[in-house]
Amino acid sequence: MANPVILTIDDDPAVSRAVARDMRRRYGDRYRVVRAASGPSGLETLRELKLRGEQVAVLVADYRMPEMTGIEFLEAAMDLFPAARRVLLTAYADTDAAIDAINLVDLDHYLLKPWHPPEEKLYPVVDTLLDAWTASPEAASAEVRVVGHRWSAPSFAVRDFLARNLVPFRWQLADDPEGGRLLSAAGATTDDVPVVIAPDGTHLARPTEAELAALVGLRVAPTEDFYDLVVIGGGPAGLGAAVYGASEGLRTVLVERRATGGQAGQSSRIENYLGFPEGVSGAQLTDRARRQALKFGAELLTTREVTGLTAAGSARVLTFGDGSTITAHSVVLATGVSYRVLDAPGLAELTGRGVFYGSTATEAPSCLDQEVYIVGGANSAGQAAVHFSRYAKRVNILIRGADLTASMSRYLIDQLDRLDQVVVHPHTVVAAGAGTDHLERLTLADTRTGETREVNASWLFIFIGAQPRTEWLDGVLVRDERGFVVTGPDLVAGGRKPPGWPLARDPYHLETSLPGVFAAGDVRAESVKRVASAVGEGAMAVSLVHRYLESQ
């Protein structure tokens, strides 16, 4: 396997040679330093590297170049090598543009020219970026290949799992020539798909999520039996708790049943999150948070579902689905919510074959010049509509109410109003779906008159309801009538402590009816369903964990 690449792009030959010279002097024994003279030639180089299965660790692009600016190059390069760290080389006069690029292309750093001496101004920056790239799962998993059928629910499940866990992969149709060659090399047939091939050539046919996670290098087993803090759920609240817990010295493990990021991680663009005026994708926010948690020493476990919680003296014991357990001083529940299943004839059979729950970034390019139907009127539906409008010929939003004002943020409504290809259909629900190997038709009903009409449709994305995943806590914690976990002051309404509460004090603000167990984010009753508030509650829960531990 060739050494990973550091690619530098500058149209000034003298500057280009100088950058490459300094890079080779420090990193030439571990990395290949490649030069390009322009943005287009740099992209062509990246395409060749991608086809050869090579890895790119760092991209350094000059801001002012003809044909394509450095920002435009880095934005395009993200599609080819999303895990590569991105650096903009700029003059002092262009620092404002460099700062704007931090949000536009998730820029990791910008360097001012001249960068001499490199020992002070260049190498410390690149050292940090290379360390981050080496530590990320993406760097070790860049050549995962998935072979499957276009309209196959199992194939979609594999691709969705990899995408939500930010694992780059190549998707290959089983009936294409290259797909046939890969299946033949793996000793498999089209009846065995999906087949997943790891970079080292090992492969699995129809893998379970746990098998898939292990194959691509995601951690699935804890390294210890006892922790200071176990965080259950890897959405914004869980990641916030993991970052703050680990950074403050707690032995912290985060347990996620599927993929970090939660519903927010599926969002194509979050534009009202503090500090990102140009918006940030859920995947980018998740990636940054996950890297932060790992940096501070937190363990992140994937495909592990917690099915039981019990008290053993001052310890809290968590049971996994396979019967194994881990124990901790404290627990933060951040399991979030899941989308409610749309109960209409024909949809269940077509799930993963044209009917999808939540926004699936892997499917958006396949909707090119086609009609897309979205059910739901909250922010998640609006963000998905904006994203799909870049590909689809028309995006139809179906809502029960008269308009979006009761459930969607104003900035999203204004965005949708400016998109000609987005159409909102008020008082409209999906009554049925039909198709053979995939969704082909939808029956839509008017909620006022009951009249129905049939439309041709291959793509239906559903964003309705919010169901907490708390059935496993029945009889363990106090929950409200909808299943959300009750915490803090709400537990002592009427002046009485919750049943079985053993302490003289009242529960802390985010504490559940079991001391030492806290709830944060969407799973908590009466919480504000926003990313920023979830992150804040995750951090607040850790401060309350400290208070709890100090009182023991």
Q: Which residue has the tokens 């996994």?
A: 320
pLDDT digits (tens, 9 = 90+) for 335-376: 998 888 999 999 999 999 999 988 666 688 889 899 999 999
| pTM of the full structure | 0.72
- pLDDT score at 138: 47
Domain 5-135 has CATH 3.40.50.720: no
Highest mean pLDDT among 47-51, 112-116, 248-252: 248-252
pLDDT digits (tens, 9 = 90+) for 479-511: 999 999 999 999 997 778 888 899 999 999 999
Indicate if the pLDDT at residue 268 is higher than 90: no
- pLDDT score at 360: 66
Indicate if the pLDDT at residue 263 is higher than 90: no
Q: 348-462, what's its fold?
A: FAD/NAD(P)-binding domain (3.50.50)
d(CA 457, CA 435): 9
d(CA 550, CA 552): 6
Summary count for the chain: helices (H), strands (E): 16, 26
Average pLDDT over residues 1-25: 90
Mean pLDDT of the chain: 89
What's the CATH class of domain 141-211?
Answer: alpha beta
Contacts of 423 (CB under 8 A, 6+ apart): 394, 395, 396, 397
Domain with CATH 3.40.30.10 in the chain: 141-211
Q: Which residue has the tokens 């998935």?
A: 146
- 85: β partners: 58
User: Phi first, then psi: what are they for 459, rounded to 5°?
Assistant: -135, 120
Indicate if the pLDDT at residue 269 is higher than 80: no
Q: Are 364 and 387 in contact (CB under 8 A)?
A: yes
Tokens at residue 365, please?
Answer: 């390019």
Instruction: Find the helix packing angle between 282-295 and 123-135, rounded to 10°.
Output: 100
d(CA 129, CA 100): 20
Average pLDDT over residues 325-329: 97
Sort residue 476 into left (φ over 0), alpha (ψ -120 to 50) or beta. alpha
pLDDT digits (tens, 9 = 90+) for 243-258: 999 999 999 999 999 8
Q: Are 519 and 334 in contact (CB under 8 A)?
A: yes
Highest mean pLDDT among 47-61, 82-96, 389-403: 389-403
- pLDDT score at 410: 93
Closest to 213 (Cα-Cα) out of 172, 175, 167? 167
Closest to 161 (Cα-Cα) out of 101, 210, 127? 210
Contacts of 311 (CB under 8 A, 6+ apart): 317, 514
- pLDDT score at 137: 45
- pLDDT score at 201: 75
- pLDDT score at 485: 96
- Residues 170, 390, 465, 412, CA torsion sign: positive
pLDDT band with cut points at 50, 70 and 90 for residue 139: very low
Q: Which residue has the tokens 């002046």?
A: 495
Contacts of 373 (CB under 8 A, 6+ apart): 396, 398, 430, 442, 455, 457, 459, 460, 461
3-state DSSP assignment of residue 2: coil
Domain with CATH 3.50.50.60 in the chain: 226-338+467-551, 348-462
pLDDT band with cut points at 50, 70 and 90 for residue 70: confident
The secondary structure of residue 407, as a DSSP letter, is T
- pLDDT score at 97: 64
Q: Which residue has the tokens 């939808």?
A: 442
Q: 226-338+467-551, what's its fold?
A: FAD/NAD(P)-binding domain (3.50.50)
d(CA 348, CA 229): 38
d(CA 104, CA 189): 43
pLDDT digits (tens, 9 = 90+) for 283-314: 888 888 999 999 999 999 999 999 999 999 99
Domain with CATH 3.40.50.2300 in the chain: 5-135
- pLDDT score at 141: 38
The secondary structure of residue 522, as a DSSP letter, is G
pLDDT digits (tens, 9 = 90+) for 409-462: 999 999 999 999 999 999 999 999 999 999 999 999 999 999 999 999 999 999
